[in-house]
Amino acid sequence: MSTPTPAPPIATGASTASASAPQTAPPDARPAAPPADALLVATDLVKSYGPVKAVQGVTFHCNPGEVLALVGENGAGKSTVAKMLAGAVTPTSGTIIVGGEPLASGSVKQSRLSGVRCAFQELALVPDWTVAENLSLPDGAPLRGFSQKKSVAAASALLSAFDLPHIDPRAAVGTLSLADRQLVEIARALAGKPRLLILDEASSALTPPGVQWLFTRIRELTAAGGSVIYVSHRLGEIAEIADRGTVLRDGQVAGEFVRGGWTDDELISLMAGREAERFFPDPPERTTDAVALSVTELRSEGLDGVSLSLGAGEILGIGGLQGHGQAELLRALFGAAPAVADEWTIAGRRIKGTTPVRSVRHGLGYVPEDRKREGLALEMSVGENLLAPWLKAYQLGGRPRLAMERGWIDGILSALSVRTRGSNELAGSLSGGNQQKLVFGRWMDRSRTVILLHDPTRGIDVRAKQELYGAIVDLAKQGVGILWFSTEVEELVHVCHRVVVLYQGKVADELTGGRLTADAIVGAAVGSTGSISLTTDEEDLR
Amino acid sequence: MTAISPPRAPSTPPPPPPPPRRRGWNSTGLTRLRREGAIAPIAAFAVFFVVYVIINPELLTRFQLQTASNLVVPLALVALGQLVVVLVGGIDISIGAVMSLCNVVFATQLLTLPVPVAILLAVLVGLGCGLFNGFLVAYAGLPAIAVTLASAFIFGSLAREVLDRPGGGVTKEIYLATSGELLPFVPVALVWLAVIAVGLWLLLQRTALGRHIYGVGSNMESVRAAGINARLTKLLAFGLAGVLTSFGAMMLASSTVTGDPRSGDPYLLSSIAAVALAGAAFTGGRGSIIGTILAACTLGLIGNLLFFAGVNSYWQYVISALIIVAVVGLPVVWRRVAFRVKGIRS
């Protein structure tokens, strides 16, 4: 099995982009004027959701046969831009020109007809449809015959042409693993032989062989003259595949770069916009060896015998790729999903199983994955949301209760510097970062033994992140055990005492001290035993 | 996978059939039935039918077979209409009123117009009612339960306006054509039901629109992101439901030989009950035609069974309730037990 020899990751000039003149500009150069034969020219794209401006004036272009990376942090507007190109979101203003013609915006179908296809991170497959149905149904008119047999045959031909024989076209998509779903999604986008393929974080769940598979497909497409817009924040992948790139920050273009003309540090500071981003507090010294929580052989849906123990005052990180059991682990430990274990103790007390109500009584706290859906009652006030775990049905509620708890509520709001007009404001009107602080804050100063955190810093701004880091470290100082699942490897490396990496529902590795590095976490997360570096080329990935 | 080559056309040798997965995974219609939740209602009907025949062997005589089919076929058709709405994630509270309206339109138009025109009119009225609901739900974005609750009052009043007391011009010939016997032991009503059910099955399983209907209920956002017109699909699903309801209304008018502006009312709850019993997901995307028909037969015949068993007929609702709870609850209990057993074994 040989893959096309890639251009060396650090090359000079844009090798395959015939049209772009060799640029030696530093990464922070302002957008250059697009060449006349550019396949895609996006000019001054703006998208606002009510008062919130997700994208404010983004301009970039993409040449034929080129891979353009679109990078930026969470919330920088990458996905919104990708969705505007795909037609899933209508721009508030601005123009998109594909192949010389303006793109009819606001309709996925129109975009598809103009040869623009998009593989979304997780959005566009219907779970109750089979793989074959998902591959064939979006094309064509609704009032036309549909034959399961023919679609299965077409799907298996397509899947084998794309070298994916292990996916059963008759399986319902909902039964596939996340990685397989992404492969199907990419295959569907590729099936239309698009002129412009948009990959919106399409590699987020793929294993290294899966990423190599994707790169092979991308090279096939660009060799045939198609272009690819590669949305990602994995710098290693961008180094390997991207000819050019555009960096987004806070909905604006922060800079551009060409293959070989950048370093990781330059790009990161461009994405983050300030050095402060790199600041992480150190985990506090541990003062006791007491065990706050321990389980052996915890089994649940998606968990295949996980054993771990968490000390009082310890910050234990949980690493791994999405869908390998991290969410399930936290839910099971909190009792939100049924689970059994051989042994299970909280603060030394043995328990057989738990439910959320009992967990709170035992001294657990939980910050769930989706703050809007699981974390908060958006139509209720800030104060009531903070008090949510502590409201008993027979107690006072509403304003009298808020007045009674005034001291605690104000303490939390100021400790986390939640920006709110007061405890009577609706939780739904707060920004994402401040909402996250509420979900977290409700467990502070309530004599918890363990707090379970599900990626609490996802999608919130830098300042809010650092305030949360500070609060987490403070809690650990008070002797609370923190179990912290994060998708940001840097957080795990810098703020945790110890990191447990999950792979396919099991503990793949436990990292402490000198072994606790970003490479080791990523390596264990993809199931390899040794440590690998994401930023080197493919020999190491084998 | 070789070196750089343009994307291969599917002219590569036909793929070897994927290796058989465990337990005939996905390979049979049975899997589809199971996925659509139809196994439990089919089994329930089988048990119910055996019990029925044991208590009342007379069912298998020509006369009783005919009356029993005339009893269940309108319910089955209306339940299919309800199923289509439930598949796109809605619920139709107006289905009883639509049925009454189509019923009286059909019966009164028979007085003056030729039969095919009356049929066409009734179907158009059903379609119009469905599209009215569908437009408000799909394009105005209102919740289906509120829209159909409101339109139930409108359609109900219209029905009373058209005909305010039982009557109309249903003739004996029409009765024979819809509710008589085609052959000995083959009631016509069952034949019509079979024709409509097969047609609906073809539409739902063998056209892209049908699969879109399932997809919209399963995950509206995904369907839209895939470039499918989800709103139009929803609108058409409501229209289709209206048409199916009008078929049920005409079968009811013919078998009772009258038009009645209140005839549809009891069918609202029964149709929802049948869809629930059929194991359909009320969030949409899952539900089977055969399961719905058999669930409607079960629910429709409970009253008869209790009559023959000598039980007070007021108990029929309690028994219906028990059957629904049992059939819907068993799979849930089964999953819990299976999970426990798995946990203990491992």
Span A217-233, average pLDDT: 88
In angstroms, the separation between the Cα of residue B309 and the nearest Cα of chain A is 42
* Partner residue facing A140 (CB), from B206, B208, B214: B208
Interface A-B, measured as beta-carbon pairs within 8 A, has a size of 150
A168 contacts B16? CB cut-off 8 A: no
pLDDT in tens, A482-523: 999 987 778 888 899 999 998 888 898 899 888 888 778 877
Span A412-437, average pLDDT: 85
Angle between helices B115-138 and B230-256 (to 10 degrees): 140
Q: Is A379 helix (H, G, I), strand (E, B) or coil?
A: coil
Contacts of B33 in chain A (CB under 8 A): none
- pLDDT of res. A459: 67
Phi and psi of A117, rounded to 5°?
Answer: -125, 150
In angstroms, the separation between the Cα of residue A491 and the nearest Cα of chain B is 32
DSSP B232-243: HHHHHHHHHHHH
Helices (H) and strands (E) in chain A, counts: 17, 21
| DSSP conformational letter for A29 | B
- Identify the closest residue of chain B to A223 by CA–CA distance: B6
Q: Which residues of chain B have pLDDT under 70?
A: 1-28, 342-346
- Identify the closest residue of chain B to A108 by CA–CA distance: B227
Between residues 141 and 200 of chain A, which touch chain B (CB distance below 8 Å)? Answer: 141-148, 154, 156-161, 163, 165, 168-172, 190, 193
**A109 in B contact zone (CB under 8 Å):** yes
Burial of A523 from C-beta contacts in 10 A (0-12 / 13-18 / 19+): buried
**B219 in A contact zone (CB under 8 Å):** yes
Structure tokens at A83: 């969705």
| DSSP conformational letter for A515 | G
pLDDT in tens, A355-364: 999 999 999 9
pLDDT in tens, A258-283: 888 877 777 777 776 654 445 788 88
- pLDDT of res. B128: 97
**B1 in A contact zone (CB under 8 Å):** yes
Angle between helices A432-441 and A406-415 (to 10 degrees): 130
A124 contacts B286? CB cut-off 8 A: no
Q: Which of residues B158 and A288 earns the better pLDDT score?
A: B158
B343 contacts A161? CB cut-off 8 A: no
**CA atoms lying within 13 Å on the CB side of residue B225:** 21
Helix (H) or strand (E) holding A190: helix A178-191
First to last CA, chain A: 12
- pLDDT of res. A32: 56
Phi and psi of A69, rounded to 5°?
Answer: -90, 140
A142 contacts B208? CB cut-off 8 A: yes
Q: Going by C-beta distance under 8 Å and a sequence separation of 6 or more, which residues neighbour residue A32?
A: A23, A25, A256
- pLDDT of res. A541: 37
B208 contacts A137? CB cut-off 8 A: yes
Phi and psi of A484, rounded to 5°?
Answer: -125, 110
Question: pTM for the whole thing?
Answer: 0.75
Whether the per-residue pLDDT at A57 is higher than 90: the answer is no
Whether the per-residue pLDDT at A189 is higher than 80: the answer is yes
State the residue for tokens 């199983």.
A353
- pLDDT of res. A26: 46
- pLDDT of res. B2: 38
Contacts of B7 in chain A (CB under 8 A): 161, 190, 193, 217, 220-221, 224
Q: Which of residues A107 and B239 earns the better pLDDT score?
A: B239
State the residue for tokens 């990464």.
A27
A221 contacts B215? CB cut-off 8 A: no
In angstroms, the separation between the Cα of residue A130 and the nearest Cα of chain B is 9
Q: Going by C-beta distance under 8 Å and a sequence separation of 6 or more, which residues neighbour residue B30?
A: B24
Contacts of B218 in chain A (CB under 8 A): 126-129
Cα–Cα dist A382/A218, whole Å: 47
Q: Could you count the other beta carbons within 10 Å of the beta carbon of residue A280?
A: 17
A220 contacts B5? CB cut-off 8 A: yes
Span A114-135, average pLDDT: 82
Contacts of B210 in chain A (CB under 8 A): 146
B211 contacts A190? CB cut-off 8 A: no
Between A160-169, A231-240, A298-307, B51-60, the lowest mean confidence (pLDDT) is in: A231-240
Structure tokens at B286: 């899952």
Q: Are the C-beta atoms of B64 and B259 separated by less than 8 Å?
A: no
Q: Which of residues A143 and A437 earns the better pLDDT score?
A: A437
Best mutation target among B203, B213, B219 (most A Cβ atoms within 10 Å) is B219
Cα–Cα dist B258/A506, whole Å: 68
Q: Could you count the other beta carbons within 10 Å of the beta carbon of residue A542?
A: 9
A190 contacts B208? CB cut-off 8 A: no
Whether the per-residue pLDDT at A28 is higher than 80: the answer is no
Q: Which of residues A190 and A540 earns the better pLDDT score?
A: A190
Between residues 244 and 263 of chain B, which touch chain A (CB distance below 8 Å)? Answer: none
**A332 in B contact zone (CB under 8 Å):** no
B18 contacts A142? CB cut-off 8 A: no
Between A24-28, A399-403, B125-129, the lowest mean confidence (pLDDT) is in: A24-28
**A352 in B contact zone (CB under 8 Å):** no
Q: Where are the beta strands (DSSP E) in A391-471?
A: 450-454
State the residue for tokens 């599917």.
B10
B26 contacts A172? CB cut-off 8 A: yes
Best mutation target among A15, A120, A126 (most B Cβ atoms within 10 Å) is A126
**A341 in B contact zone (CB under 8 Å):** no
| DSSP conformational letter for B1 | -
- Identify the closest residue of chain A to B205 by CA–CA distance: A146
Q: Are the C-beta atoms of A517 and A493 separated by less than 8 Å?
A: yes
Whether the per-residue pLDDT at A533 is higher than 60: the answer is no
- pLDDT of res. B86: 96
Q: Specify the pairing of strand A196-200 against strand A116-119.
A: parallel
Closest to A54 in 3D by CA, of A84, A75, A83, A72 = A75
State the residue for tokens 């009584």.
A361
Structure tokens at A288: 């006791």
Angle between helices B265-277 and B315-345 (to 10 degrees): 20
| β-bridge mates for residue A300, sequence order | A303, A339
Q: Could you count the other beta carbons within 10 Å of the beta carbon of residue A373?
A: 9
Q: Specify the pairing of strand A252-258 against strand A244-249.
A: antiparallel
Q: Are the C-beta atoms of A326 and A310 separated by less than 8 Å?
A: no
**A104 in B contact zone (CB under 8 Å):** no
Contacts of A200 in chain B (CB under 8 A): none
- Between the alpha carbon of residue B74 and those of residues A110, A226, A284, B185, the distances in Å are 43, 56, 72, 19
Q: Where are the beta strands (DSSP E) in B118-265?
A: 181-183, 186-187
| DSSP conformational letter for A381 | B
**B184 in A contact zone (CB under 8 Å):** no
A4 contacts B346? CB cut-off 8 A: no
In angstroms, the separation between the Cα of residue A128 and the nearest Cα of chain B is 6
Q: Is A416 helix (H, G, I), strand (E, B) or coil?
A: coil
In angstroms, the separation between the Cα of residue B203 and the nearest Cα of chain A is 8
**A87 in B contact zone (CB under 8 Å):** yes
- pLDDT of res. B343: 63
How sure is the predictor about A89, in pLDDT bands with cuts at 50, 70 and 90? Answer: confident
- pLDDT of res. A20: 38
